[in-house]
């Protein structure tokens, strides 16, 4: 109780500035914002309870600007290389087990890129969520929000159909669309390990995660002049602000194109 009284009595504009200075030296901007938000809510509570006469946060500006962290994407030719390797694994399989696993892996990779889904959304697909007749998949995003993503690419539909035909019994017993060798739900970690293994085997030095397929899906669509509002719906973002991070990526790409590809670079004028 004595410590609490000391805290409230010493709570001032200057003490807050000192605390903010300490936070800025010790933590990332995101952590600083979270800690200050917690303290601000607490001081507001103290004010409401008449424990303090005024909230010192009302007298200072605490705007903390976080650096823009651009999503990491996979070059389109690298995605093509990974997909080609996945299909090669099917052709090279010398046992039914290896072939069935390779078909599943190719289906997972195709669906990641075709839908821009989170890896958890892919792993949580149920058998009824994949509509072969309607050519679509139903995804459940954050907060169990549903969205339906159309699939119009023949290769994607074919590999999904091949996978389902082979694993139909396991899928029916498990309930989930993607299953492992034990007939259980395929885990997110298994997908990550599969991608790492494929990249290492075919000599891709870039560290690639399942989520980077999502970033690439959005960025490549934006580069093809797809309206950002459509991309927002496809990604399942509740706010357009979240989707707008991809505009920073395409701006950086445009800058690089102008820097390296502009025809003025080919003019040698003395």
Kindly list the catalytic residues.
Answer: 118, 142, 211, 214, 237, 246
CA-based torsion, 55, 56, 57, 58: positive or negative = positive
Token pair of 143 as six digits: 């907060």
DSSP 134: T
Selection from 254, 93, 58 nearest residue 166 by Cα: 93
All residues at 6 or more sequence positions from 240 whose CB lies less than 8 Å from its CB, including other chains: 228, 229, 232
Q: What is the dihedral of CA 84, 87, 92, 95, to 10 degrees?
A: 160
Pairwise CA distance, residues 111 & 187, whole Å: 15
Strand blocks (E) in the chain: 130-131, 136-140, 146-150
The percent helix, strand, coil of the chain (3-state, each to 5) is: 65, 5, 30
């Amino acid at each position: 109780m004595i410590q609490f009284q000391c805290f409230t009595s010493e709570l001032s504009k200057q003490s807050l500035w000192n605390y903010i200075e300490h936070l800025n030296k010790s933590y990332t901007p995101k952590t600083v914002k979270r800690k200050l938000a917690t303290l601000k809510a607490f001081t507001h509570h103290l004010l409401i309870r008449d424990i303090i006469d005024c909230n010192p946060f009302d007298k200072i500006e605490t705007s903390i600007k976080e650096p823009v962290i651009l999503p990491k994407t996979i070059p389109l030719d690298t995605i093509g290389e990974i997909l080609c390797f996945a299909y090669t694994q099917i052709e090279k399989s010398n046992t039914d087990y290896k072939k069935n696993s390779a078909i599943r892996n190719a289906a997972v990779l195709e669906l990641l890129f075709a839908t821009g889904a989170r890896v958890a959304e892919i792993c949580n697909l149920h058998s009824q969520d994949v509509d072969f007749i309607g050519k679509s998949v139903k995804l459940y995003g954050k907060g169990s929000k549903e969205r339906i993503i159309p699939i119009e690419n023949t290769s994607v539909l074919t590999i999904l159909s091949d996978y389902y035909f082979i694993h139909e019994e396991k899928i029916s017993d498990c309930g989930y669309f993607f299953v492992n060798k034990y007939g259980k739900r395929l885990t997110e970690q298994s997908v990550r390990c599969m991608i790492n293994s494929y990249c290492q085997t075919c000599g891709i030095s870039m560290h690639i995660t399942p989520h980077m397929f999502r970033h690439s899906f959005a960025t490549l669509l934006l580069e093809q002049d797809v309206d950002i509002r459509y991309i927002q719906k496809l990604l399942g973002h509740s706010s357009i602000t979240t989707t707008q991070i991809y505009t920073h990526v395409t701006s950086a790409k445009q800058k690089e194109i102008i820097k390296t590809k502009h025809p003025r670079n080919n003019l040698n004028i003395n």
